[in-house]
Chain A
């Protein structure tokens, strides 16, 4: 498998695929073609391997609202911070630690003495709880791929002192919203391979019918991404509004039925606000009533109003994270980018999450297009 994995990182094949992308863009024959991906890990991989340096100039690959941390709205972070400051022990994935709420982040709370554990897995959090005398709340962030893990954990008899504060999100509804935005220039979507592993790619069939644009499910190795884009361009060229699965090693049309059962047994989709995108119908995942005994929102009285003693930062009003996540603006268009807003001192969550567009642009020097010439 080691050798197999490296095959998907073969520079020679990658170069051929880049040629192919150039070829396809020429065949489409316009000055620019815009596609969107909705997965922070796709952006991470693109940046890590320097792929933007080999995309055709006329191809615009926009990062959409694919960062679950970025789109976690301030009130949700406030809930975790309020609990932490009330003395409740919180376990969280590393990404969420530094996301700013209305007033503070979990990291700020930790610096002031709150008990915060960074974990790699929800299972690790439950194990931690089993060895503690006090309550442990798991701040559950991430999209459906991650929500399945949380659900599975709840179904396996977690300790009584363990509860979930769910900030999980569900991606397909937001693709609808982006596709329906009047300013949108997106002609095709690259869908997240691991989310589709769970949900299957059939869920995109109605989407492509309704919006007349193709969706290609792609994996995360460099060749996967390049091949996914090539397929997308091919479909755009031929005006075929279809779903194509370019990640057959993990994704099937019907997806992982067992994971889906587990997910919907525990969670239900509710409308909610995503940071910068306003209301997303069915975009948030909350625990079903049957699981209320593990729901931190029911177990604790969470008082976020004390966090609102601080006036909302005026800087936040200049933050254009919403436009960035919708693919309408790029970080360089933001007056705060890399100046007042840096990973150490983030104004919007796009700068905090390792997969946020602004963070990645800042991390990689604010410009990712380093062509050889």
Chain B
């Protein structure tokens, strides 16, 4: 019930944004997104409407959240520690 796909805003014309999803572009309506949206922003698209703007720091924020979770749960678990290290390292890398 929630097929939402994130995409990058390429251009805006009034309430209509041209959004790029991995090289495929479609118009997405901005009627119900609750903050200003600019070209370069990422939005979550559901049936042709943007339902939210995805803040740029979102990946780091979420990865940090996952890292916290792993740390809290498995303090003595060596395997998780290895993976935790990987996640911290990955968090330092900037992905496009």
Contacts and interface: CB of A to CB of B under 8 A. Distances in A.
Partners in one complex: yes
Size band of the B side of the interface?
35 or more
Interface in A247-274: 248-250, 256-259, 262
B86 interface: yes
Given A2-B96, A250-B44, A259-B34, A227 B2 contact: no
Interface of chain B: mostly helix, strand, loop or mixed? mixed
B80 A249 contact: no
Contact of B73 (A4, A20, A143): A20
Interface in A88-141: 93, 120-124
A152 B96 contact: no
A149 B65 contact: no
Contacts of B48: 120-124, 149
A27 to B, nearest CB: 8
A262 B62 contact: no
B45 to A, nearest CB: 10
Contacts of B46: 145-146, 149, 194
Interface string A158-195: 00000000000001000000000000000000001111
17 contacts: A17-B66, A23-B73, A39-B1, A40-B1, A67-B1, A142-B1, A145-B4, A145-B46, A152-B49, A192-B1, A193-B2, A195-B1, A195-B2, A231-B69, A249-B55, A250-B54, A259-B33
Interface of B: 1-4, 6-8, 15, 22, 29, 31-34, 42, 44, 46-49, 51-52, 54-55, 58-59, 61-63, 65-66, 69-70, 72-74, 77, 79-80, 83-84, 86-87, 90, 95-96
Given A152-B32, A220-B4, A256-B34, 18 more contacts: A1-B42, A13-B66, A16-B84, A20-B74, A23-B77, A120-B48, A122-B47, A123-B49, A152-B29, A152-B31, A155-B31, A171-B1, A248-B62, A249-B62, A250-B4, A256-B51, A259-B32, A355-B1
